[in-house]
Amino acid sequence: MLDDMFDYLEHIRERPVWQPMPGDVRAKFRSDLPVAPSELSAVHDEFMRDILPYSNGNVHPGFMGWVHGGGNAAGMLAEMLAAGLNANLGGRDHAPIEVERQIVRWMIELFGFPKTASGLFVTGTSMANLISVLVARDAALGFETRRLGVGGVERRLIAYASTAAHESLRKAVDCCGLGSDALRLVPVNPRHQMNLAALKQMIESDRRAGFTPFLVAGTAGTVDIGAIDDLDGLAVIAHEERLWFHVDGAFGALGILAPEIAPRLAGIEAADSLAFDFHKWGQVPYDAGFVLLRDGELHRKAFASQAAYLERETRGLSGGSPWPCDFGPDLSRGFRALKTWFTLKVYGLHALGGTITQTCELARYLEQRVAASAELELLAPVQLNIVCFRYRCPDADRANARIVAELQESGVAAPSTTRINGQLAIRTAITNHRTSRQDVDALVDAVLALGRLAVPVDAEVEEAVYD
């Protein structure tokens, strides 16, 4: 199995980035409960035949869709070790929790948080955003809200994020019982950064209307185009207005490892909470989300609970309190920290920062290739590793959606789509350390070839291409 996975990584370029799963293969996953045992080798054969070839494709250097990290071999091996130990990191006194605590301390140092801050591995930034909003809610309403719920609360809490913020923030506000309307979307400037004057006006008008503004979320790396909000400016407003300052740094926060990006993140150190993923730009295999809370005590008070069967002791296995389960909703938790620990130690922060720099350079190279072709147009300024562009043609939304689907199905490259000012864009987020200029060239060449095919010269051609 190890050989198979090393071969997979070594020869990844020889595979299609992604390929659709044939119906007969999909049907195999509808088979009955496996009551009788099978040979391990037979199940492994099934994996090689029916699962591996139809995976997501984000290990491939041609994968540029959404914001998917490429993973790494050291992290993969660490996952095997973690599964062998089968440690449960909900609590108790053992070394795996010390690994997680070490990463918490490292992140506190990296992001300039105080030593009293706390942190936790979670599935991803969606969960990290949720935990952050929940702690902020309880800090605003009082911790008795945990017992009484928000039903009887008269003060209607309001949160702010930009129109470019990730949807998971809305989900977080919703899951915290505040109602998704409680998230106000603040307009952005042409570089997709939150308009701070508009934010101030919205806060003022909400206060006048009797609402209680409680949180502002800045984004470090917006999902559509990779914009970084003015975090310093947001920190000042949050301080003046007594708001919780959250930063959604899903992929962009780790830009702090790249010397040319770090200054643009100034203000992140003032956040009350920071959500980010190691599984994106950090190249750690999925999943490895992370949340840092400036005030570790508030964090603990939002989640700690008591149960006789989870009694803490000063000695024995029940020592080592507080436990990770005191800082989040999960009791049973896997050893996500180990693959992250291996990745950070084996490659070092310098190389990980270098990868981030390299993906941004590739984005600028792609930007140049788009600019050099009269058939292509750039739809948004390139600020980090994301390039939004499209093929110029009539009915461009439909044609570019088709180009993306055909690109994905061709196995050559896998960008995704988004809408920029209402226009459908081919969106490429270069996140994988394996991606090179050769992959960017393959993408552009394929877009041009498919674009030329997609331009309906006459109805017959249109029929041939579209049907």
Geometric angle at alpha carbon 124, from 300 and 259, rounded to 5°: 95
- Considering only residues 247 to 286 of the shown chain, the ones binding ligand PLP according to CB under 6 A are 248, 250-251, 277
Which residues, listed in sequence order, are joined to residue 346 by a DSSP beta bridge? none
Establish if 145 lies at the interface with ligand PLP (CB under 6 A): no
E strand or H helix that includes residue 353: helix 336-371
Q: CA torsion, points 292, 294, 296, 301, in degrees to nearest 10? A: -100
C-alpha distances (whole Å) from 67 to each of 94, 187, 390 are 34, 23, 19
Q: How many residues bind ligand PLP (CB under 6 A)?
A: 14
CB 292 within 8 A of CB 274: yes
Amino acid at 105: R
Report the nearest approach of ligand PLP to the CB of residue 159 (Å): 15
Tell me which residue of 367, 388, 404 sits closest to 164, measured CA to CA: 388
Establish if 219 lies at the interface with ligand PLP (CB under 6 A): yes
Q: Which is nearer to ligand PLP, 77 or 161 (CB)?
A: 161
Near ligand PLP by CB under 6 A: residue from 69, 119, 289, 334: 289
Q: Which is nearer to ligand PLP, 96 or 124 (CB)?
A: 124
- Considering only residues 44 to 83 of the shown chain, the ones binding ligand PLP according to CB under 6 A are 67
- Contact letters (x/-) for ligand PLP, 148-167, by CB under 6 A? ------------------x-
Report the nearest approach of ligand PLP to the CB of residue 386 (Å): 10
Report the nearest approach of ligand PLP to the CB of residue 221 (Å): 6
Report the nearest approach of ligand PLP to the CB of residue 219 (Å): 5
Please choose, out of 243-251, 254-262, 263-271, 378-386, the segment that lies near ligand PLP by the rule CB under 6 A.
Answer: 243-251
Establish if 168 lies at the interface with ligand PLP (CB under 6 A): yes
d(CA 439, CA 382): 18
Establish if 170 lies at the interface with ligand PLP (CB under 6 A): no
Report the nearest approach of ligand PLP to the CB of residue 346 (Å): 23
Phi, psi angle pair for 281, to nearest 5°: -65, -20
Tokens of 290: 């992370």
Report the nearest approach of ligand PLP to the CB of residue 297 (Å): 26
Report the nearest approach of ligand PLP to the CB of residue 150 (Å): 24
For 40-88, the DSSP string reads HHHHHHHIIIIIGGGS--TTSTTB-STT-----HHHHHHHHHHHHHT--
Q: Which is nearer to ligand PLP, 257 or 444 (CB)?
A: 257
Establish if 290 lies at the interface with ligand PLP (CB under 6 A): no
Q: Which is nearer to ligand PLP, 72 or 126 (CB)?
A: 126
Please choose, out of 107-115, 121-129, 338-346, 437-445, the segment that lies near ligand PLP by the rule CB under 6 A.
Answer: 121-129
For 204-255, the DSSP string reads HHHHHTT-EEEEEEEEBS-TTT--B--HHHHHHHHHHHT-EEEEE-TTGGGG
Tell me which residue of 379, 384, 376, 386 sits closest to 444, measured CA to CA: 376
Near ligand PLP by CB under 6 A: residue from 126, 162, 340, 383: 126
Instruction: Give the strands of the sheet with 212-219, arranged side by side.
Output: 118-122, 289-293, 273-277, 244-248, 212-219, 157-162, 183-186
Tell me which residue of 114, 211, 210, 197 sits closest to 158, measured CA to CA: 211
Q: Which is nearer to ligand PLP, 410 or 417 (CB)?
A: 417
Please choose, out of 120-128, 155-163, 172-180, 262-270, the segment that lies near ligand PLP by the rule CB under 6 A.
Answer: 120-128
Q: Which residue is nearest to ligand PLP (CB)?
A: 124
CB 296 within 8 A of CB 116: yes
Report the nearest approach of ligand PLP to the CB of residue 130 (Å): 9
d(CA 62, CA 53): 15
Establish if 125 lies at the interface with ligand PLP (CB under 6 A): yes
Residues that bind ligand PLP (CB under 6 A): 67, 124-126, 166, 168, 219, 221, 223, 248, 250-251, 277, 289
